[in-house]
Copies of this chain bind each other. A is one copy, B any other.
Amino acid sequence: MEKQIATTLFESLASGVRLDVFRLLVKNAPEGLVAGEIALALELPATNLSFHLKALTQSNLITVVQEGRYQRYRANLELMQELIAYLTAECCTGQAELCFDAQLVPECCSN
């Protein structure tokens, strides 16, 4: 994963609202939720939620498909996996023995 992608993902997760949205969608995987259900669950104004959904969608952390007049959002678990892998590599670089899951990253980066 490129550094620029990683910072965008961290930026997406750096807001309490967006983290709540993502966690809610993970809980409701794989069927996801439509925007109105998210707004109801998190008690957010539609317009504000829409702002954060757009940010999450643009970072690719969630996906959206239209269903009639609804928009259905889903968590992108594969990308989250990749982010965890990136973070694990960052954590272990040059210090694999200090990380508890070191065996998940057999070839730590050396530069």
Residues of chain A at the chain B interface (Cβ within 8 Å): 1-4, 6-7, 10-11, 13-16, 19-20, 22-23, 26-30, 77-78, 80-91, 93-95, 98-102, 104-111
**In the complex, A77→B2 CA distance in Å?**
21
Q: What's the number of copies of this chain in the assembled complex?
A: 2
Tell whether, in the assembled complex, residue A84 and residue B84 are in contact, meaning their CB atoms are under 8 Å apart. yes
Q: Please classify the interface of chain A as helix (H, G, I), strand (E, B), loop, or mixed, using the class held by over half of its residues.
A: helix
Known: A3-B111, A10-B10. A104 touches B88 (CB 8 A): yes
Give complex CA distance A88, B80 in Å: 8
CA distance A27 to B104 in the complex (A): 18
Given that A2-B111, A83-B87 are known contacts, is A27 also in contact with B77, CB under 8 Å in the complex? no
